Amino acid sequence: MFKLLKNLKQYTGESLAGPVFKLIEALLELFVPLVVADIIDNGIAFSDRGYILRNCLLLAGLSLTGLLFSVIAQLFAARASSGFAANVRSALMRHIGTLSHSDMDRIGTSTLITRMSADINQVQTAVNMGLRLLLRSPFVVFGAMIMAFGIDKKCAMVFLWVIILLFIVVFSIMLVSLPLFRKIQSNLDKVTGIARENLNGARVVRAFGLEDEEKARFEGAAETLLRSQLFTGRISVLMGPVTYLLINLAAIWLIWRGALQVEGGIISQGEVVALCNYMSQVLVELVKLASLTITITKGLACANRVASVLDTENTLKNGTAKEHDENSEYAVEFDDVTFSYPGTGGASVENISFAAKKGERIGVIGATGSGKSTMVNLIPRLYDPDSGSIKIFGRSAGEYDTAYLRRLIGITPQKAVLFRGSIAENLRWGKPDATEDEMNEAVRIARAADTVEAKGGLDALIEQGGKNLSGGQRQRLCIARAVIGKPPILILDDSSSALDAATDKALREEIAALDFSPLVFIVSQRISSVKDCDRILVFDDGLLVGSGTHEHLLESCPVYEEIAGSQLETR
């Protein structure tokens, strides 16, 4: 949590004002038992109604003033904690945006969702309660003890022993609970992950009739989470009964001892009542402190999880170059490149070497899992190769500023992703300052003009994930988004799989006629999508097994010949 507290800097005033107003309220509360004792000893004892009324008005004034200070403290604490949580979420989101795909794969999407939501909510609650009670409760506890010593030292000794014992109990339970709360959050990650998988793949689950199996898997993870919560809860709940037991035993001893002191004329009846009130204040505050301890323990566990993400260093080191040589002979060069995904046994692509010039159309074909998408994902540095080198316009890809490098490359991912918003807002991801004419031109190139017109124009709303569009419509809008910025390198990763043959052909013709002549990579499993390319790269089990034109590969590459034979009736 302490690593995250720098996000409170913007709310330093509120963070200081909240505890200060709470301490003032606590100070006023400590005077209440003395006023009550004075009413008993000097008002009730002498039947002085005027004295009693004046002191009752004083009590009312202390209560109302304390309430005012408490509300102000609550306001400052709420502003500081909510602002702190917003800053942490922003920092976490910015940091996640800098992580490489390898880092994201290693951490896990479900874990990041939990840390962005539930974990930060728990930390926010801990900060809120900490600002209100972390100083107030100990202040009241020790203040009540000091006041008690001012009344009678012998009776007040019970305060000292009770406070010592309760602090031992509280911190012992906290030390035991902290690792258990971490385990709860890890189990919550698993539940979130399974729920996310089932929500995203609901149609697949139903198609295969696996509802019962997935329900059982979810219930198993939920049961594990429940057991860990119950076990931790049973330990944490001990704090309440133990606190009440010690306080009530102390109150019984205090009343017995106070009665003896009153009988001996050492203290007055009002002072015994004051001691009991101070003991009640200690009870209330220690219960609050116990609750605060549990909340802070949970907050610390969650804060450490959030901090671990923020401490994750991006494995992709950013370069500084923000310019490229347009006259370079080759736009993209692979030299003996090998890459494997984290946690996998073997290489996804191995010893890949080729060079491509700007203006060329490069087809990339191969069976599912052969390494096609992996290869093109290495070009914009979504991943870094394990060995070998990749050059973009004659310069190593690692030397470029990452943001600049990715502006050089327009890419349509294998899974067409659109965001909630208008069509225009989605297209401007490719070029933030795109004009309406530029957007219309990109839509025309992507053969999506009919889609835009049918939806009501560029301002038409797209639902989250493009759910109100068909697969082909999503793909065409993703292509429009990629070409609108006129990048010198264009990657179409299986971006026409949902298109009919006529639309696919028309789209390829538009891409071939682009006036800015980019280097185009067309990744596909269909021969018809790549056979007219200037060159075709054939992948098989992570290896580049063929390179050449359609006619050349039919004669020289058995893998390509097999693919062609299965798709084309004639050659």
Token pair, residue 87, equals: 């800053």
Question: What phi, psi does 266 have (nearest 5°)?
Answer: -80, -40
For residue 407, which of 516, 489, 523, 325 has the smallest C-alpha distance? 489
Query: Residues 410, 518: contact at Cβ < 8 Å?
Result: yes
For residue 229, which of 181, 189, 265, 192 has the smallest C-alpha distance? 181
The rounded distance, in Å, linking the Cα atoms of 175 and 239 is: 13
Query: Residues 470, 498: contact at Cβ < 8 Å?
Result: yes
Report CA torsion sign: 193, 198, 201, 205: positive
Residue the block writes with tokens 């010039």:
357
Tell the burial category of 500 from Cβ atoms under 10 Å away from its Cβ (0-12, 13-18, 19+).
Answer: exposed
The rounded distance, in Å, linking the Cα atoms of 6 and 10 is: 9
The rounded distance, in Å, linking the Cα atoms of 272 and 276 is: 6
pLDDT band for 570, please (50, 70, 90 cuts).
Answer: very low
pLDDT tens figures, 481-495: 999 999 999 999 988
Query: Residues 375, 566: contact at Cβ < 8 Å?
Result: no
Task: Tell me the average pLDDT across 98-113.
Answer: 81
Sheet holding 543-548, edge to edge: 409-412, 489-493, 519-524, 361-366, 535-540, 543-548
Is 1.20.1560.10 the CATH number for 5-310? yes
Query: Residues 170, 285: contact at Cβ < 8 Å?
Result: no
Query: Residues 381, 337: contact at Cβ < 8 Å?
Result: no
Q: Does residue 24 have a pLDDT over 80? A: yes
Q: Does residue 68 have a pLDDT over 90? A: yes
Tell the burial category of 437 from Cβ atoms under 10 Å away from its Cβ (0-12, 13-18, 19+).
Answer: exposed
Considering only residues 553 and 102, tell me which one the structure prediction assigns the higher pLDDT.
553
User: CA–CA distance from 477 to each of 351, 456, 473 (Å)?
Assistant: 34, 15, 6
Q: Does residue 79 have a pLDDT over 90? A: yes
User: What's the pLDDT score for residue 427?
Assistant: 94
Task: Tell me the average pLDDT across 502-512.
Answer: 89
pLDDT tens figures, 514-537: 988 999 999 998 898 898 899 999
User: What's the pLDDT score for residue 569?
Assistant: 55
User: What's the pLDDT score for residue 16?
Assistant: 92
User: What's the pLDDT score for residue 482?
Assistant: 93
Q: Does residue 249 have a pLDDT over 80? A: yes
pLDDT band for 571, please (50, 70, 90 cuts).
Answer: very low
Task: Tell me the average pLDDT across 295-299.
Answer: 83
Q: What is the CATH number of domain 415-486?
A: 3.40.50.300
User: What's the pLDDT score for residue 251?
Assistant: 79
pLDDT tens figures, 394-436: 999 999 998 899 999 999 988 888 999 999 999 999 999 999 9
Task: Tell me the average pLDDT across 155-161.
Answer: 79
Mean of all residue pLDDT scores within the chain = 87
The rounded distance, in Å, linking the Cα atoms of 140 and 350 is: 68
Beta-carbon contacts of residue 87 (< 8 Å; ≥ 6 apart): 7, 8, 10
User: What's the pLDDT score for residue 1?
Assistant: 61
Q: Does residue 146 have a pLDDT over 80? A: yes
Delimit the CATH 3.40.50.300 region(s) of the chain: 319-408+488-500+516-571, 415-486
Q: Give the rounded percent of residues in the chain with a pLDDT score beyond 90.
A: 41
Q: Does residue 565 have a pLDDT over 70? A: yes
Beta-carbon contacts of residue 313 (< 8 Å; ≥ 6 apart): none
For residue 506, which of 437, 448, 424, 432 has the smallest C-alpha distance? 448
pLDDT band for 361, please (50, 70, 90 cuts).
Answer: very high
For residue 332, which of 296, 291, 377 has the smallest C-alpha distance? 377
Token pair, residue 333, equals: 């060069």
Considering only residues 568 and 463, tell me which one the structure prediction assigns the higher pLDDT.
463
For residue 499, which of 448, 571, 560, 539 has the smallest C-alpha distance? 448
The β-bridge relationship of strands 543-548 and 519-524 is: unpaired
User: What's the pLDDT score for residue 44?
Assistant: 86
- To which H or E segment does residue 102 belong? helix 101-107
Task: Tell me the average pLDDT across 58-74.
Answer: 93
Task: Tell me the average pLDDT across 47-58.
Answer: 88
Give the alpha-carbon dihedral of 223, 226, 230, 231, to 10 degrees: 60
Out of 169-178, 318-327, 344-353, 455-464, pick the least confident.
169-178
Measured N-to-C along each axis, helices 269-310 and 136-151 cross at an angle, to the nearest 10 degrees, of: 160
Query: Residues 522, 364: contact at Cβ < 8 Å?
Result: yes
Pick the CATH number of 319-408+488-500+516-571 from 3.40.47.10, 1.10.3720.10, 3.40.50.300, 3.50.50.60: 3.40.50.300
Q: Is the pTM of this model over 0.85?
A: no
The rounded distance, in Å, linking the Cα atoms of 331 and 359 is: 9
For residue 26, which of 87, 83, 67 has the smallest C-alpha distance? 67
Give the alpha-carbon dihedral of 335, 338, 342, 347, to 10 degrees: 160
Delimit the CATH 1.20.1560.10 region(s) of the chain: 5-310
Token pair, residue 317, equals: 């080191």
User: What's the pLDDT score for residue 399?
Assistant: 92
User: What's the pLDDT score for residue 64?
Assistant: 93
The rounded distance, in Å, linking the Cα atoms of 553 and 284 is: 83
The rounded distance, in Å, linking the Cα atoms of 455 and 418 is: 15
pLDDT tens figures, 421-432: 999 999 999 999
Beta-carbon contacts of residue 193 (< 8 Å; ≥ 6 apart): 108, 109, 110, 111
Burial of 327-350, coded b for 16+ CB within 10 Å and e otherwise, reads ebebbbbbeebebbeeeeeebbbb
The rounded distance, in Å, linking the Cα atoms of 17 and 89 is: 24
